[in-house]
Structure 1
Amino acid sequence: MLHLARLRTLHEFARLGTVHEAARSLAYSPSAVSQQLTQLERDVGIALTEKAGRRLVLTAAGRVLAQHARTLLEDVERAEADLAATKPVLSGVLRVASFQSVMLSLIPPALTILFERHPELQVEVHQREAEAAYAGLLTHEFDLVLGEEYPGLDERHRAGVQREALLEDPLLLAIPREGSWAGARGLEDLSEANWTADPDTVLPGIWVRSRLRAQGIEPRVRFETIDLLLQAHLVRSGHAVAIIPGLVAREHLTGADLLELTDSPHRRLHTAVRTGRSADPATRALRSALAEAAGALEAVPPGS
């Protein structure tokens, strides 16, 4: 007989590639993972793993069973979703991973909508960058992830994850109203400016630098931070210029000039859940609330 817990261990080993990574994902010890895999081999009567140098890898049979394990685990979540749909009231806790700009502008109104409709449903929100958020989604630490994509820099699609588009958010050039760069009419006037931007290891920072270099500007990033509120404050106080998402600009840059960039680039926001959880009533209710909140947000007029 196949045991679901052992199949989950096999799935995590197949997904992550090492015993140590699977152990960390499952909050097991490496020896416990090895024992689970060994017991699963006894259950099925065929070798599922083999040594390749110093590494443990799946055999052909192991790969076949790992694929079935993923399907079975998704079916379990679908069954849980179907059972939840029979309950008269939505309750429980949804765990969400998000990034700062959405936490500031979109999640609060979405939670207001959600709690008005489903007061027994609770939501936990955790700020995470993309890799940590998706890792947590696949290990069941989170139930839903809010993600983003920048022009030409698509977030990679992951097996077992279902995504829905949420919002297109304009990327605006933010310029101080006082100081050396006040009155600039576009990027062409900012070749010597001080910039504030995300690090070049995350999508927003990669995109901003790429955009500026495409305009012939080698950005002088004097203030590197993932904190968009700090970026906004540095612009308002005249210390830097920046390219800021509209969700942040509309509320936190009223003391700065906002200009559209050539070709009006937008970042694309989406929600992501495990495939088996996409029909869960609580998940659908949260997605609906997020979509309604997103639809209510007005575009930021340049220069407002």
Structure 2
Amino acid sequence: MARKNKKREAGSGSITKRKDGRWQGQYVSGYDPETGKPRRHTIYGQTQKEVAEKLRAATSSIDNGTFQEPRKITVAEYAAEYMTTHVATLTDSTQRSYEKNLRLHILPALGSRRLTDLTHREVQRFALSLWAGGKGLAPKTVHTVFGTLHALLTAAQRDEILQRNVADFCSLPRVTQTRAKAITSAELNQFLDLIRKDEFYYLFFLDIFSGMRQSEILGLRWADIDWDRNSLVVRKQLQQKCKKGDYSYTLIDPKENKQRRIILAETAMLTLQKQRTKQQRQRLAAGPL
């Protein structure tokens, strides 16, 4: 009788739940030609769905011949995977920031390096080049760019490609807070007088007397106004997607879904009433449009 071949096919995989609550997927990318032992890989995730997506991507690359052993993956190659599997769940603005930092700073300097060959000294030199080298970026920008690299290497560590994050404990320039110069009452009155006939006068007025961010003010809806309590509740922000082929606007929840109430002066509430009346007139003039 023929002996049954128990070898697992390259490209096959399995998913199980760990005792710590996380999920893990295992797959075989092939067999070592010298020892005949399978090349096994393990991926981890917080949910079964997350692991299943990673497993499908890995096994699909094996099937179509584009798979690379994790130890041979370059920073640029892993960055492409990182953007589609990890960053894709973040807000559009965060995705744009990560993509920009990778494209302009990280990949030109480190993109061709093997991920597993990166050293702490090399990453520290990269950090130094951002502000002390030819780029001369502001300290706050350096922290933002370096934060993207650190997050990428943390993801590679979770994916079991790296044993440790070589971006830990790097020295970065100190960010000093500049003291803002407050506008005087005379300057404020002059500004309001100059824009009194501007189309967005009411928006500027509300912004000045509420301290809201631009995205919060543009995401404000009439349902968020509490006329009885002279206040408003910040529940949404307006963000532009800015993805290839899609530059539409969308309302998103505030960061960490933290809503807050802002108490307004009577003059600000009166401004909101005037804006609502103005909108109603505009709607009547627009008719079916």
Which TM-score applies when normalising by structure 1?
0.22
Higher share of residues assigned strand: 1
Which TM-score applies when normalising by structure 2?
0.23
- Larger relative contact order (Cα-Cα within 8 Å, sequence gap ≥ 6): 1
